[in-house]
Every structure is written in structure tokens, then in C-alpha cells.
Amino acid sequence: MFFAGIAVSLHIDYKIEDTMLNETPLCRVVHAQAKKYGDRVALRYRDYDLGQWRDISWNEFSRRVRLVSNALLELGVGVQENIATFSQNKPECLFVDFGAYGIRAVTIPFYATSSETQVKYMVSDANIRYIFVGEQYQYDIALRVMQLGPHVKKLIIFDPKVNKNPQDQTSIYFDEFLALGEGLSHQEEVEKRCDEFQPDELANILYTSGTTGLSKGVMQTHRQYAVAFRGHVTALNLSDKDVILNFLPFTHIFERAWSYLCICYGCTLCVNLRPQDVLQSMLEVHPTCMSAVPRFWEKVYAGVQEKINQSSAVQRTLMLDALRVGKEYNVKYRMRGLVPPIGLKMKYKFYEKTVIALLLKNLGLERQNFFPTAGAAVPVEVEEFVHAAGIGMIVGYGLTESTATVSCDRWNQPITLGSVGRILDGVTVKIGENNEILLKGDTITRGYYRKAEVTANAIDSEGWFHTGDAGYLKDGELFLTDRIKDLFKTSNGKYIAPQMVETKLVVDRYIDQIVIIADQHKFVSALVIPDYAVLEDWARKHRIEFKNRAELCRDEDVRDFVMERIETLQQEFAHYEQVKRITLLPEPFSMEKGELTNTLKVKRPVVYQNYKAEIEKMYEE
């Protein structure tokens, strides 16, 4: 079928009463929603043994949260005590979070891919006694950490399939933990603690993945969440009719704050356990909303382009024309708040019900409402394509330190390609020295856990948080230009913004990742991770022989081909910004080699060190 396997704009009509935000504090919001929605589905998750999605009602969600609160009190967890979750996305993560909030404890999520060194550091820094672990990998690491230090007293294991170490006599499975709360014998104390709740108490400590050094624990208060939720009311057209697919890690502030907001709206959350299954999950749950990073949409864009290239001449012409009409209708008119000409509207409506509808169906997005996207710059070509296809992408900008959203596109206001939207209600933005974006407001962190000096460096004497990002405001929209500390200076004295160059080049379907080299060098070069499958197919069609990826990447014809594609994309750059030489790498960057953070951001210093020889070779005369 045309476009099968790739898998817009079919918006849902909402009534005003459906869009009410429940502003009950996090310690009681799940129970408040259970009173309102009862046996309606709150959470869904895939049961891999049965091969189907299982439902959890609001009543059951509330019951398990109460059990967690009581069980934590049975273990002796105190007010504002730190506990950790070390797991991939699972409903249990939410049970623990909201159960902990019920007794005013602080939850600290670890990335499921965190190393033993990272876990040991966070456990020591936050003095953690109890860790909830997901699967075997997390259990094994947490057990070694527990055996090495005095902090951890007990592990609570989510997955009953985890094989416990025979010498481990203290860890318990999650069902055993919940049994500690049966009978709700501590419920009176739970209610008492909730009654004494203060908005400025800590809800979370979120350790940043860090591209340059040790992680910093960003302190997140209940007030920050409450103000952030309120700020989104006028920004997002969200309601309790929405079905949310969660595939970014709950550890990340983007997915975490987004999922909490959706709970406060009464949405149904479909929790995706394994990130690699997200496309399958989309086809199974048909989400109306899903937060994503630009890389996800880049992959969708590349997949569609590949399908177009492989299609027959008639199909190719039809799809290209549909995207052309979609671009004119959505980007030129609708996004700017303008009324499209009647002829253009009729053309678009035809394609919307045929070619575009098929594209959406094959992605599982035929019920779509909108899709928040943040975490990195969105290539203009990708943003343009997504909107041309009628997909309701909402581009935003934020940090862990700002409780995610600083700005985002508004569904009812003009949107400019390349911007990161309009400032969220409750956040104040000022453009400081070197065009740095400075922030103030109740959504901004009060600092880094147990790091007064680092906090003082980030928040100045007037209370402005320094983001390190450069940008500008125009007609009410925020635009990012570069990351200040990432600016490179060539040996010729020219400044290069590597992320800007990388964002432009990574849209090419033959390029999976690219890292720019320029600092203190006389010209710009790049390390390129190709999309191996696509490049190998091209090489075979051109009768280029290779035994493995290393030979493929060393082949001069292959390298010249990739370089030609880069030269086409970078024509708009100044001469000194253009990539002059490249090296194709036979292996992708990895967390195991320390080259990527847990959020898959590149650690430039590590990459430069690991590929020092390859970099030096590009600058040989």
C-alpha cells in the first residue's frame, strides 16, 4: 500500500466543560480525578506476555497510589525524604510518584540507562535509602551500589521476572511492597501530612544528564508544577478526551511535566515501555497527543522522503503535490492566521481526505489533536513538512530548570516557522548580555541541590536565571540562535554555532548524526554517522563493493557522495561556516562509550577525545 509503514489534520471538537484543569495539589489530584471519572480508563500499558494493552481505571490508579503512600509510611519514609525510581516508563513509576507526594516525600527519577557510576553519585548526593527498580539491568546496578555503600537500605522491584541475587535478603517485589500498605493502616497519617502540605516543598530532584561534567540536581517544587500547569491552560487545547502516548522517559522534565499536566486534565495515558516500539504503539493506541523530540519527526520526515523516492511516478507526483498544497494552505495561510483562498482550500480538503489521510492512518495519527515538540532545534525543513502534512506540531522551548515550558506555539495565534513559540503565562523573559535568554517566574528552579556555588553562578543577584542559550524576541515569539558556551571560534577568528550547522545538515536522509569540528581549527570539519541501511543500499546500486561498514565508510566514492549532499544543504551558510572535510564513522555514538547523555545529547569533549586521530587527519595538509 502507498506509504504503508510510515505512518493529519483531523482535529477533535471539544466542549468548554471538557477542558477544565484540576488544580488539586499533586498529593491528592489522582484521588480527586478518581472521584470524577471512577472506572473510566486512566492508564494503559502493553502486556508483553499477552501481546495486548491493559487498562487501569482512575479508581484503580487511586487505590494503588494510596497503597504506595501507606507502604512508604510502613517503611518509615519521612517528610521530604528522598526516594528514587530507576526504571523505564511503567505505570508503577506514576504510582510511586503520586504515592510519595501523598506523604510529602521527594522522588528522584534515574534514567533507565544510567551507569553504575551515575547511580552511585546520585544515591550519595541525595542520601537515598529506597530505590524502586524496573527490570534486571536496573536491579543489578542498584544492588551493586547498595552493597558498596551505607545509603541504600532496600530495593523494590517492579518487574516480577527479575532474578534476585541469592545473597540479596532485603529487596522485595512491588506486589510485596504494596502488601505493606494493605488495610491502609497509615491513612490517617497520610491525610495529616497532606493537610500540612506547603507549595514550596520539594516534589522532585531531577539530575541533569550533563554534556560537560557531573550531574546537577535541579530542585523542583510543587509550586513550580502548579504555576506551570496553570500557564498551559491558554496555550494548549487539551481535554479529558485526549489519548496520550508516553514514550519519552518520565525521568525527563518534558515528559514528566507533560504527563502530570495530562493527569490534571483527566486524559488517558498510554505508557510505552520500550522506546523502540513507539511506531507500533502509535498504530495500536491511535494517540491524539504525544510529546516528542525533533529527532523523532526527522525520522518520520526521512521515512516519507524515502517512500516518495521509491514510489511510482504517478504516486510520487500525487504525494509531492499534496505536500505542496499542504504547505501553501497550512504554512502560508493557516499558521499565519490568514484565510486561504477558496480554490486552495478545496484542493487541500481533497488531499486531506485522501493522500494525507492515508499518511496519517499509516502513522496511527488519524485522531490527532497536537504534538508538543522540544528538546533541541527543529530543522525548518522538518517543521515545514510536518505542518504541510497537516500534523499539529507545537514547537516549544524549555529547560529542566524552568519546569519544561518557557515558550510554545499557541494553537489560536499565528505561528512562525523557526520560532519556539510565545512565552508561557507566568514566565518572564529578558534578553541579556550576548543575547542570552534570562528567566524569572514561579516555574523557575530555586537552585541546584546541595550546590550553592553552582546555583549562584546560574541565578544572578537580581534573581534572573541564566539559560546559556542565545536568542531574541520578535512580534511576541521567541527565536533561538545558538548555545552560548557551545560557540566555536576558528583559528581565523570567526565564530561558528555548531548546533545551527548540525540542525541544517541532519535532515539529509543519508545522515543519522553529525558533529561539527571547528574550535581553534582553521576550517570546519565534521564527523558523520551515516544512516547505514540507506547508504548501503545506495552503494550496492552503484556497484561499490564493501565487506563491512568500516570499508563502506572509507570508500572515497561514498564519502564524496555524502559530501556532495552536505554541500547542497550548506549553500546558504557563510563560507567560513561551511563544512570542508568529513569523516564517516562505522559505529554510532553511544552511551556505553560516554559519547551520549541519557537524553542522547552528544558529549562533545568525549567525542573529540575518542576520535582525536580521525579529527587530526582531517586537518593534515
Residue 199 CA: distances (Å) to CA of 221, 440, 492: 7, 18, 53
Query: What pLDDT, on a 0 to 100 scale, did the predictor assign at position 5?
Result: 36
Q: Which residues pair with 78 in a beta bridge?
A: none
Question: Is 9's pLDDT higher than 50?
Answer: no
Question: Is 585's pLDDT higher than 60?
Answer: yes
Counting other chains too, the contacts that 587-592 makes at CB distance below 8 Å and 24 or more residues apart are: 587/529, 587/549, 588/512, 588/513, 588/529, 589/513, 589/515, 589/529, 591/113, 591/115
Percent of the chain scoring above 90 in pLDDT: 76
Query: What pLDDT, on a 0 to 100 scale, did the predictor assign at position 63?
Result: 98
pLDDT tens digits for range 90-119: 999 999 999 999 999 999 999 998 889 889
What letter does residue 453 receive in the DSSP assignment? H
Give the residue, 115 or 193, on which the prediction is more confident.
Answer: 193
- Coil, strand or helix: which one is 562? helix
pLDDT tens digits for range 538-582: 999 999 999 999 999 999 999 999 999 999 988 878 788 899 999
pLDDT tens digits for range 516-544: 998 778 889 999 999 999 999 999 999 99
- Coil, strand or helix: which one is 488? strand
Query: What pLDDT, on a 0 to 100 scale, did the predictor assign at position 253?
Result: 95
Query: What pLDDT, on a 0 to 100 scale, did the predictor assign at position 571?
Result: 85
- B/e letters for 518-545, b = 16+ CB within 10 Å, e = fewer, are bbebebbbbbbbbbbebbbebbeeeebe
At 554, the amino acid letter reads: R
CA–CA separation, 366 vs 517, rounded Å? 42
Q: Which residues pair with 482 in a beta bridge?
A: 470
Q: What angle do CA 491, 493, 495 make, to 5 degrees?
A: 105
pLDDT tens digits for range 443-496: 999 999 999 999 999 999 999 999 999 999 999 999 998 877 766 767 666 668
Work out the pLDDT band at 209, boundaries 50, 70, 90. Answer: low
pLDDT tens digits for range 243-260: 999 999 999 999 999 999
Handedness of CA 82, 88, 89, 95 (dihedral sign): negative
* Per-residue cell: 535: 547508504
CA–CA separation, 219 vs 200, rounded Å? 11
Query: What pLDDT, on a 0 to 100 scale, did the predictor assign at position 492?
Result: 66
Question: Is 15's pLDDT higher than 70?
Answer: no
Q: Which backbone phi and psi does 398 adopt, to 5 degrees?
A: -175, 175
* Per-residue cell: 463: 534573581
H/E stretch holding 260 reads helix 253-265
At 141, the amino acid letter reads: I
CA–CA separation, 204 vs 207, rounded Å? 10
At 390, the amino acid letter reads: G
Is the CB of residue 272 less than 8 Å from the CB of residue 89?
Answer: yes
Q: Which backbone phi and psi does 559 adopt, to 5 degrees?
A: -65, -40
Question: Is 212's pLDDT higher than 70?
Answer: no
* Per-residue cell: 231: 500557564
Work out the pLDDT band at 199, boundaries 50, 70, 90. Answer: very high
CA–CA separation, 18 vs 296, rounded Å? 30
Residues 6+ apart with CB under 8 A from 35: none
pTM here is 0.85
Q: How many CB atoms lie within 10 A of CB 293?
A: 19
Task: Quickly tell me which residue has 523557526 as its cell.
Answer: 418
Percentage helix, strand, coil, to 5, in the chain? Answer: 40, 20, 40
Query: What pLDDT, on a 0 to 100 scale, did the predictor assign at position 494?
Result: 67
Query: What pLDDT, on a 0 to 100 scale, did the predictor assign at position 518?
Result: 85
Question: Is 310's pLDDT higher than 80?
Answer: yes
DSSP 412-429: TS---TT---EEPTTEEE
Is the CB of residue 555 less than 8 Å from the CB of residue 544?
Answer: yes
Q: Average pLDDT in the 8-27 region?
A: 60
CA–CA separation, 272 vs 247, rounded Å? 5
Q: Average pLDDT in the 398-407 region?
A: 96
Q: Which residues pair with 404 in a beta bridge?
A: 399
Query: What pLDDT, on a 0 to 100 scale, did the predictor assign at position 48?
Result: 92
CA–CA separation, 111 vs 86, rounded Å? 6
Q: Which backbone phi and psi does 298 adopt, to 5 degrees?
A: -60, -40
* Per-residue cell: 509: 536522509
Q: Average pLDDT in the 162-181 region?
A: 96
Query: What pLDDT, on a 0 to 100 scale, did the predictor assign at position 210?
Result: 56
Residues 6+ apart with CB under 8 A from 442: 223, 224, 227, 426
pLDDT tens digits for range 349-373: 999 999 999 999 999 999 999 999 9
Nearest to 326 by CA among 305, 344, 300, 308: 344
Angle between helices 91-102 and 187-195 (to 10 degrees): 70
Of 1-15, 319-333, 414-428, 474-488, the poorest mean pLDDT is in 1-15
Mean pLDDT of the chain: 91
CA–CA separation, 95 vs 185, rounded Å? 18
CA–CA separation, 524 vs 358, rounded Å? 42
- List the domains of the chain with CATH numbers: 52-221 (3.40.50.980), 294-484 (3.40.50.12780), 491-618 (3.30.300.30)
CA–CA separation, 327 vs 552, rounded Å? 37
